[in-house]
Amino acid sequence: MTPDEIVSSDLAAGASAAVMPEASAGVRVQPSEPPSAEAAPEGAPAPADEAVSSAPTGEVSPAPTATAEAASSASTGEVSPAATAEAASSAPTSEGTPPEFTGAEQSAPDATAEGEAPEGEEGEEAEAASPSEAPGAADGTGKKKRRRRKRKKRAEGAPEAGAKETRESARPHRASDRAPFHVGEEVFGKVTAVLDTAIMVDLSGKALAILDRSEMEADDLIPSAGDRLVARVHNDGSRGGLVVLTRKPLREEETKPKLEQALKEGQLVQGLVTGVIKGGVEVDVGGVRGFAPASGMDLHPAQANFLGLVGQRLDFKIVSFDKGRDLVVTRRPMLEAEAHERRKRALSLLQEGQVLEGVVRTVVEWGAFVALPEAENLEGLVHVSEASHDARKPLPELLSPGDRFPAKITKIDERGKIWLSRKALIEDPWGAAKQKYAPRTRHRGKVTRLEKFGAFVELESDIEGLLHVSDLSLERIEHPSQVLKEGQEIDVVVHHFDPRTRRISLHPAPAPEHAEEAAQKIQRNALVKAEVLRGESAGVIVRVLGVTGRAQRGFIPAGQTGTVRGTDLRKAFKPGSVIDVKIIDVDPRTGEPKLSIRGFKEDEERRAHKEYRQKLKEEGGFGTLGDLLREKLRAQQDRGA
């Protein structure tokens, strides 16, 4: 508590004590001056008019006077008798109570407990003392309330702080977190591995460190795994790499001029890979920390594993070294030069038509890049048209990164690009498909996928046919899923085979009871047989026998049924009955035939009349008058000749 808070607390305590009478005497005590001989007799109440009259004149009440003296004595180091008496009188009430709780809060209950004075006397004394004591009491009480509110806020904030600490403790270590060791700190650890270029050290399980062996002198004793090693921290590893130890802390200043000279002249420098960080690796070049991006450490950084480079000493080219800081290095020029030499040497061994094993590196929409391990991992391109005989199949379904397959070199152009083919070594399944899948042949297939326009059926590997949604059922359906499921095996018949586009149109195979029906051709003016399915007010719906797909669904308009107007077609045509009809039209959009019974009867009458005339001619009858005249003229011509 501050001195101001102590004084205000004492003032409040004095204000409460001023209105409390003695337990035995019932009169106020004036600590600042001895009791008067003219004091009122024991048990008499204090004159109220004197107490009231003292307030406007500025007389100090007993309690504030004693408290002020106590406060002044605390600052000067002297203790007055009044302060001693006041402390002695308040000691029983504040015993065992924390300092911030001593004051009016404790004195009021204590006074009530020990005094039990008449209510009237205490009330008069309190009213008499209230004018001068109110300001001090209000000030002290207000400060206490503020302290209570602060304590309450701290108590409410404690669970949130605990949760925050829990979250922070559960948070994984990041490169920006505080490192367990500081630069320049001397540490000791246990040697875990001794490499040709570095020594790996375990720093008491807190971090893994690395020491460059180039710092050791020729006569230094090389430690072994399990030995203790003492060195200073040169790089604390706060950026994600290993902790770098050193025995020559000042070698960095000797290296910087050399790096600046190497940057100007384009010379290579040697660096020790000390860790793998986000975006690349961390390199120590003569005590100077450097960064090598992933693109500068491998030509294919997405597939590279940089952990195997930790502890190796490699050649680097300086990209930037700004004012002795922010060293950025790369190995890409050397890697590209090495790859160019390997490519040149490997291309001399390759020739068109050669077959090699390939490993898929990358798959894109228009092809796949394939590495040839037998030719220094040179990359060639398998175009999407050379991946499979089925050009409709997506390339990602055929090849994935890491797949191995034999590839044939089809071309090596003047720029050294290698063109490969996969389908050249695969037998074309469509070669013998034309004879195998001839129209009207029956096969069994598996539904591979359902689309809104139809269902794809796999007849064999890499050969699929399409069942159009209009051909799936005699009843009209909106989606193939209403009658089929993926993975379902069904019997189909080939409706059409196009060898140029490699497309097969399929129809559902007829039911076993309809398998022996003779095939009929759907074309205009053809006479066919049909089975009645049902009669409606507009006409009759029939199934053309010996036909599959949508063409078997026929319709006879009411005007073409040959019945009297008003006939109930439902009763006139029984379902299942077979009738003869004539195809009078074919819908060019759907392919469904329009049939007529009346047209069939008219054709039958014409055909019967023609047959009758032919029969009479063959039997040698008299014929007509024209026939007789024609015969007479022919006979005359024969005689004249």
Q: Do domains 186-335 and 351-425 have the same CATH topology?
A: yes
- Give the pLDDT confidence score for residue 542 in this predicted structure: 92
In whole angstroms, give the CA distance from residue 224 to residue 194: 7
CATH 2.40.50.140, domain 186-335, yes or no = yes
CATH number among 3.90.226.10, 2.40.50.140, 3.40.640.10, 3.40.50.970, domain 523-641 = 2.40.50.140
Backbone φ and ψ for 448, nearest 5 degrees, come out as: -95, -40
Beta-strand relationship, 288-293 and 325-330: parallel
pLDDT digits (tens, 9 = 90+) for 28-66: 334 434 444 343 444 444 443 433 333 333 333 333 333
Kindly state the percentage of the chain with pLDDT values over 90.
Answer: 26
pLDDT digits (tens, 9 = 90+) for 496-520: 888 888 889 999 988 888 888 888 8
Q: Token digits for 610?
A: 């023609």
The domain defined by 351-425 folds into OB fold (Dihydrolipoamide Acetyltransferase, E2P) (2.40.50)
- Give the pLDDT confidence score for residue 160 in this predicted structure: 54
pLDDT digits (tens, 9 = 90+) for 217-263: 877 888 888 999 888 898 888 787 889 998 888 888 888 889 999 99
Amino acid found at 105: E
> What average pLDDT score do residues 82-110 get?
38
- Give the pLDDT confidence score for residue 293 in this predicted structure: 94
Kindly indicate the confidence band of residue 162, based on its pLDDT and cuts at 50, 70 and 90: low
Q: What is the DSSP letter of 508?
A: E
In whole angstroms, give the CA distance from residue 586 to residue 378: 61
Kindly indicate the confidence band of residue 86, based on its pLDDT and cuts at 50, 70 and 90: very low
Cβ count within 10 A of residue 423: 17
In whole angstroms, give the CA distance from residue 607 to residue 348: 82
Is residue 97 within 8 A of residue 84, CB to CB? The reply is: no
- Give the pLDDT confidence score for residue 273 in this predicted structure: 93
In whole angstroms, give the CA distance from residue 158 to residue 636: 138
- Give the pLDDT confidence score for residue 378 in this predicted structure: 86
pLDDT digits (tens, 9 = 90+) for 419-461: 999 998 888 777 778 888 888 889 999 999 999 999 999 998 8
Per the prediction, the chain carries an average pLDDT of: 75
Whether residue 318 has pLDDT greater than 70: yes
- Give the pLDDT confidence score for residue 157 in this predicted structure: 62
pLDDT greater at residue 157 or residue 220: 220
- Give the pLDDT confidence score for residue 166 in this predicted structure: 46
- Give the pLDDT confidence score for residue 179 in this predicted structure: 65
Is residue 536 within 8 A of residue 569, CB to CB? The reply is: yes
> What average pLDDT score do residues 148-176 get?
58
Spell out the residues 6+ positions from residue 69 whose beta carbon is closer than 8 angstroms to its own.
32, 80, 82, 83
Which of 114-118, 278-282, 495-499 has the least mean pLDDT?
Answer: 114-118
pLDDT digits (tens, 9 = 90+) for 177-227: 566 788 888 898 999 999 988 999 999 888 899 998 888 887 788 888 899
In whole angstroms, give the CA distance from residue 11 to residue 22: 19
Is residue 361 within 8 A of residue 377, CB to CB? The reply is: no
- Give the pLDDT confidence score for residue 641 in this predicted structure: 59
Kindly indicate the confidence band of residue 622, based on its pLDDT and cuts at 50, 70 and 90: low
Kindly indicate the confidence band of residue 158, based on its pLDDT and cuts at 50, 70 and 90: low
In angstroms, the Cα distances linking 311 to 193, 199, 571 are 10, 8, 96
Task: Tell me the torsion sign for CA atoms 508, 510, 511, 512.
Answer: negative
The second-level CATH assignment, the architecture, of 429-509 is: Beta Barrel (2.40)
Whether residue 286 has pLDDT greater than 60: yes
Kindly indicate the confidence band of residue 530, based on its pLDDT and cuts at 50, 70 and 90: very high
| Cα–Cα nearest to 272, from 299, 320, 235 | 235
In whole angstroms, give the CA distance from residue 89 to residue 409: 110
In whole angstroms, give the CA distance from residue 504 to residue 445: 13
In whole angstroms, give the CA distance from residue 240 to residue 173: 9
Backbone φ and ψ for 9, nearest 5 degrees, come out as: -65, -40
Beta-strand relationship, 539-544 and 553-557: antiparallel
Which of 232-236, 265-269, 392-396 has the least mean pLDDT?
Answer: 392-396
pLDDT digits (tens, 9 = 90+) for 552-596: 889 999 888 888 888 888 888 999 899 999 999 988 888 889 999
Domain ranges of the chain: 3-148, 186-335, 351-425, 429-509, 523-641
- Give the pLDDT confidence score for residue 271 in this predicted structure: 93
Kindly state the percentage of the chain with pLDDT values over 70.
Answer: 73
> What average pLDDT score do residues 627-632 get?
76
- Give the pLDDT confidence score for residue 217 in this predicted structure: 81
In whole angstroms, give the CA distance from residue 343 to residue 378: 6
